[in-house]
Structure formats: structure tokens, C-alpha cells
């Protein structure tokens, strides 16, 4: 019986053998044996049993030594590994509601001492701020930081030439460390921080109750310096904090005398309204840079916009969604002209023309049902062509006939009627209707 079973297995397995190359590629890509068998049936009309494919998959895995690794050794103070890991859902006192959290962990490769912090975002600004907190906690900077390909650090993952986020590269230059990105899909290259995140999640979180995110962070920092720092590490068989303080801390590069301000760089587009957008807020930039490549630099207090390495706009940073900061000098001439000649400007200008002009402008600006700001602006602009004296006389004539609109005042000036004497009787109701009907200020037969 055993001989027949062995022969049957050999014959069945031989049916999968012609497809060894296809199966090998699938195994190396991490495809399950059940999926491989299904694809063989669909693509090659495979008649063999699933077990035959499964046995061949096991043989390929046993023969493949690609999963073998080489231990990574690091000199004292040489490197740290950094990553995010999912944290518990906690109440955030800043926004007064529960929110998702992530652990930021930086592990020193030599001593295994670590810095940990709970955060609510994985954006660039949070990434840089946590780096700064870690370096301050260590009292120095490592020579190299090993990272995964998180979007907040690497904009394009590549084995040979990864693209580093501009903000992170500028931060590294200011602190004096180099960025070492792991090859894509190879988390084994930063196993120390991967293990560190698991240790934090499996040891710090269970059986603890946190009132808030802020309280959890206070307890986490204390836990790192006590329980985690003085445990016996499973690989080094030493206490991480003891090794750090006695050996590694002195080898770290010193912190900058003045800590650089956290700055985030982002490529932005100038919209037709002459504003760029950053985190749901709008900031103006010169209108003639429409369609140009612009870079925005965000610090905790300011927003700066650059074009070809030149700062073209600077604003105080806004935080309320939908907020807008506008400098009128950035707007097109027509927009600046309109916005600068507001109601207050019209009133002030009319006072410089005369009493009747002021009355007419005030009437227009306080109309009960219509916005007549443009009419007021138009009437005042007539002083540039006809002079203030003539405009005041025209406004007086319009005032007498109770006709305050722009066309009437312009008609008076164009036909030089401002100096024509107003005869008695022309201001009665009938004449007034005739004048306002189209043949304004012409003598009634």
C-alpha cells in the first residue's frame, strides 16, 4: 500500500514539474499555493491535484536560500532606525474627541535605547517634530537615520535612487545626519525598530487605562526611561539605557546651539483667485506667477512662498479651515482698483469734491435694496476727466432733479449742462419724470 501511494505521489507531482518556473516566480512573489493551483488550471488547463502543487511549492521554498539574512552590525552612535506603528484609539484634549493614534519610535541601533511618542498624524510636520523630540531626548544626533519608505519621508521609493521629501532633506542637513532609505518591500533592513514597536505595543499598552492622549504620552516617556530602559534586551543581554548612558551618548553628534525651526516644504499651484492652498487655508501670491512652479515653506508661525529660490510672499500662518490671507499687492490691477475703492474710500473722496457729491454718494451707498458701490465709484472717477468743480456742479444739478445715477451725472458733464441755470418750474413732478425718462435735461416743449 505504501509503495502504491508513493508512486501515485510521484506521478501526480510530475504533472506540476513542467510548470516549475511559473510556480517558482509565484512563490518568490509570496503567492499562496491555492492561488497558484487555481492559476495553473485557468491558464494551462492543469489536471493535477492541489496537493501536487503544494508539495512542489514546499520543495521550492526549502531549496530557495533567498530568505537567509546577514546580521547588521552598527558602531557606537552610528545609526538609529525610525518607523510608525498603530496605536490605541484615545481621547485628544486638544480637539475634545476620540482619535486614532500611531506610535513614533526611534531606536538606537547600538544600545537599543529608544524614544517613543504617540501622535495623531503621520504627516511631514509630525515626522520632523518627532525627530527633533527624539534627538533632544537623546541629547545628541546619530550619524545616520534608517527609515522605511513612508510618504512623509520618501516621495518615490526606489532601490537605487529614492526621492527624499524636500522638508526631510533640509531637516537632515540642519541636524547633520544622513538619510538611509531601506529598499522597497524589505522591512528586514530595520528590524530593530520593528521589534521596538512590537515591544511597545505588547508591553506598554495592555492592561493600562488612559484618560487622554496627553496622559498616555506622559506615561509612555516615563515607561521608556524606567521599565523599557532597564530591561534585559533579548539580543544584547544588556540594559539599553545603561549601555546608552555609559557608552553611546558621548559618541552622538552635538545638537545645534539653536534648534532649527520645523519647516515643511510643499510644491503648490497658484489658482485663478491668486491664492495657493495649504492644509485647507489660502494664501495669496503675485498674480503674474499663475501657472509657475511655486514652493511653500510652512513653519509653526509663518507661510512663505518661493519662486526660483526667491521669496515672493509671506503670511502669518492660519489654522482655521477655510481661512484666507490676502495681500492686495498680489492681485491684478483691476481687482486692486475695485477693492481699494470701497465704501469708506468713496465717502472720503466725495468730501473732497463737495457737499452735493457727498450727499449723492451717501444715498447710493445706503440704498435700501441695491448694491450701488460701482455707481459711486464711477461717479467719483468722473473727477479725473472733468475736474472736481464740474463734478460738484453736476451733482448739484442731479440733486435738484432727484436723479443720482451714474448715467445722469455723466450726461450732464458730457453736454456741459452743469453750468446751465435751472429755470423755475423744471423741478415739478411732471418735468422730473420727463427728464428721467431718457431725454434728460433737455428743455420741455
Please determine, for residue 11, whether its predicted confidence score (pLDDT) is greater than 80: no
pLDDT of residue 432: 47
Overall average pLDDT of the 217-231 stretch: 94
Report the pLDDT value the prediction gives residue 215, as an integer from 0 to 100: 95
In the prediction, which pLDDT does 175 show? 95
In this prediction, residue 185 carries a pLDDT of: 62
Interval 37-49 mean pLDDT: 86
pLDDT band for 46, please (50, 70, 90 cuts).
confident
3-state SS, the chain, equals CHHHHHHHHHHHHHHHHHHHHHHHHHHHCCCCHHHHHHHHHHHHCCCCCHHHHHHHHHHHHHHCCCCCCCCCCCCCCCEEEEEEEECCCEEECCCCEEECCEEEEEEECCCCCEEEEEECCCCHHHHHHHHHHHHHHHCCECCEEEECCCCCCEEECCCCCCEECHHHHHHHHHHCCEEEECCCCCHHHHHHHHHHHHHHHHHCCCCCCCCCHHHHHHHHHHHHHHHHCCCCCCCCCCCHHHHHHHHHHHHCECCCCCCCCCCEEEEECCCCCCEEEECCEEEECCHHHCCCCEEEEECCCEEEEEECCEEEEEEECCCCCCCEECCHHHCCHHHHHHHHCCHHHHHHHHHHHCHHHHHHHHHHHCCCCCCCHHHHHHHHHCHHHHCHHHHHHHHHHHHHCCCCCHHHHHHHHHCCCCCCCCCCCCCCHHHHHHHHCCCCCCCCC
The strand order across the sheet containing 302-307 reads 264-268, 294-298, 302-307, 310-316
The predicted model gives 264-271 an average pLDDT of 91
Instruction: Tell me: pLDDT of 379 over 70.
Output: yes
Whether residue 133 is predicted with pLDDT greater than 90 in this model: the reply is yes
Residue range 160-184, pLDDT digits in tens? 888 888 899 999 999 999 999 887 7
Contact indicator for 114, 133 with CB cutoff of 8 Å = no
Least confident piece of the model among 69-73, 218-222, 355-359: 69-73
Give the distance from CA 91 to its chain's centroid.
Answer: 24
Whole-number Cα distances in Å, 18 to 15, 24, 25, 218: 7, 11, 14, 61
Give whole-number Cα distances, 55 to 7, 14, 36, 238, in Å. Answer: 14, 11, 12, 43
- pLDDT tier for residue 418 given thresholds of 50, 70 and 90: confident
The pLDDT score that the predictor gives to residue 309 is: 87
**Of residues 107 and 189, which shows the higher confidence score?**
107
What's the pLDDT score for residue 302? 93
Q: Which residue matches cell numbers 514652493?
A: 295
Residue 52 reports pLDDT greater than 70 = yes
- Average pLDDT of the residues of the chain: 84
**Residue 425: predicted pLDDT:** 57
Q: How confident is the model at residue 429 (pLDDT cuts 50, 70, 90)?
A: very low
Mean pLDDT is highest, among 29-43, 305-319, 324-338, 398-412, for: 305-319
Average pLDDT value for residue range 250-257: 94
Q: What's the rounded Cα separation, in Å, for the pair 358 and 378? A: 14
pLDDT band at 98 (very low <50, low <70, confident <90, very high): very high
Mean pLDDT of 220-247: 92
Query: Does residue 244 surpass a pLDDT of 90?
Result: yes
* Range 374-395 average pLDDT: 88
Provide mean pLDDT across the span 281-307.
92
Q: What is the pLDDT of residues 339-350, one digit of tens each?
A: 777 888 888 888
Query: What average pLDDT does this structure show over 230-238?
Result: 89
Contact 240, 231 (CB under 8 A): yes
Least confident range from 29-38, 82-91, 209-218, 415-424: namely: 415-424
What is the C-alpha to C-alpha distance for residues 334 and 85, in angstroms, rounded to an integer? 53
Residue 204: name the closest of 290, 120, 90 by CA: 90
Calpha distance 5→3 (Å, rounded): 5
- 14: closest CA among 60, 49, 41? 49
What is the distance between the alpha carbons of residues 335 and 332, in angstroms, rounded to a whole number?
A: 5
This prediction has a pTM of 0.63
CB neighbours of residue 156 within 10 Å: 11
Q: Can you give the pLDDT at residue 365?
A: 87
pLDDT at 5 > cutoff 70: no
Q: Which grid cell is 205?
A: 499598552
Identify the sign of the CA torsion 208, 212, 213, 214. negative
Please report the pLDDT score of residue 435 as a whole number. Answer: 47
Geometric angle at alpha carbon 141, from 300 and 236, rounded to 5°:
130
pLDDT the model gives residue 300: 87
What pLDDT is recorded for position 12?
42
Burial profile 328-355: b = 16 or more Cβ within 10 angstroms, e = fewer: eebbeeeeeeeeebeeeebeebbeebbe
- Cβ contacts of 37 within 8 Å, gap of 6 or more: 46, 50, 53, 54
For the segment 248-269, the average pLDDT, to the nearest whole number, is 92
Residue 398 in contact with residue 420, Cβ under 8 Å? no
CB-based burial label for 313 (10 Å; 0-12, 13-18, 19+):
buried
- The HSE-up count of residue 343 (CA atoms within 13 Å, CB side) is 9
pLDDT at 445 over 50: no
pLDDT of 305 strictly over 80: yes
Report the percent of the chain where pLDDT is more than 90.
38
Residue 187 binned pLDDT confidence (cut-offs 50, 70, 90): low
Local confidence band at 3 (pLDDT 50, 70, 90 cut-offs) = very low
Residues 141-164 have a mean pLDDT of 87
Amino acid at each position: 500500500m505504501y509503495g502504491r501511494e508513493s508512486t501515485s505521489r510521484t506521478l501526480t507531482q510530475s504533472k506540476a514539474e513542467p510548470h516549475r518556473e511559473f510556480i517558482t516566480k509565484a512563490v518568490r512573489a509570496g503567492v499562496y499555493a491555492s492561488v497558484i493551483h487555481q492559476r495553473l488550471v485557468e491558464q494551462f488547463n492543469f489536471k493535477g491535484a492541489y496537493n501536487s502543487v503544494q508539495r512542489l511549492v514546499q520543495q521550492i521554498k526549502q531549496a530557495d536560500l533567498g530568505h537567509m539574512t546577514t546580521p547588521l552590525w552598527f558602531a557606537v552612535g552610528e545609526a538609529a532606525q525610525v518607523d510608525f506603528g498603530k496605536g490605541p484609539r484615545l481621547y485628544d484634549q486638544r480637539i475634545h474627541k476620540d482619535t486614532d493614534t500611531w506610535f513614533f519610535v526611534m531606536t538606537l541601533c547600538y544600545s537599543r535605547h529608544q524614544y517613543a511618542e504617540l501622535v495623531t498624524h503621520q504627516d511631514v510636520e509630525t515626522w520632523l517634530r518627532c525627530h527633533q523630540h527624539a534627538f533632544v531626548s537623546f541629547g545628541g544626533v546619530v550619524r545616520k537615520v534608517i527609515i522605511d519608505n513612508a510618504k512623509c519621508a520618501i516621495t518615490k521609493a526606489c532601490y537605487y535612487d529614492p526621492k527624499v521629501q524636500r522638508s526631510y532633506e533640509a531637516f537632515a542637513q540642519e541636524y547633520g545626519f544622513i538619510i538611509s532609505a531601506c529598499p522597497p518591500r524589505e522591512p528586514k533592513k530595520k528590524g530593530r525598530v520593528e521589534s521596538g514597536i512590537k515591544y511597545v505595543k505588547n508591553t506598554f499598552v495592555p492592561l493600562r487605562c488612559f484618560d487622554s492622549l496627553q496622559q498616555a504620552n506622559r506615561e509612555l516617556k516615563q515607561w521608556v526611561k524606567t521599565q523599557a530602559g532597564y530591561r534585559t534586551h533579548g539580543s544584547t543581554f544588556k540594559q539599553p539605557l545603561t549601555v546608552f548612558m555609559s557608552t553611546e551618548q558621548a559618541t552622538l553628534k552635538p545638537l545645534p546651539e539653536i534648534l532649527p525651526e520645523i519647516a515643511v516644504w510643499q510644491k503648490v499651484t497658484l489658482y485663478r483667485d491668486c491664492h495657493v492652498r495649504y492644509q485647507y487655508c489660502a494664501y495669496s501670491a503675485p498674480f503674474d506667477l499663475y501657472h509657475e512652479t511655486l514652493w511653500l515653506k510652512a513653519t509653526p508661525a509663518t507661510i512663505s512662498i518661493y519662486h526660483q529660490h526667491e521669496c515672493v510672499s509671506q503670511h502669518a500662518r492660519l489654522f482655521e479651515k477655510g481661512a484666507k490671507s490676502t495681500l492686495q499687492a498680489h492681485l491684478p490691477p483691476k481687482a486692486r482698483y475695485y477693492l481699494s475703492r470701497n465704501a469708506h474710500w468713496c465717502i472720503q473722496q466725495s468730501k473732497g469734491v463737495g457737499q452735493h457729491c457727498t450727499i449723492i454718494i451717501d444715498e447710493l451707498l445706503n440704498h435700501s435694496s441695491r448694491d450701488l458701490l460701482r455707481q459711486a465709484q464711477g461717479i467719483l472717477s468722473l473727477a479725473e476727466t472733468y475736474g472736481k468743480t464740474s463734478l460738484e456742479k453736476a451733482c448739484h444739478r442731479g440733486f435738484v432733479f432727484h436723479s443720482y445715477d451714474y448715467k445722469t451725472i455723466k450726461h450732464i458733464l458730457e453736454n456741459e449742462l452743469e453750468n446751465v441755470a435751472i429755470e423755475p418750474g423744471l423741478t415739478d413732478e411732471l418735468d422730473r419724470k420727463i427728464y428721467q425718462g431718457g431725454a434728460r435735461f433737455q428743455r420741455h416743449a
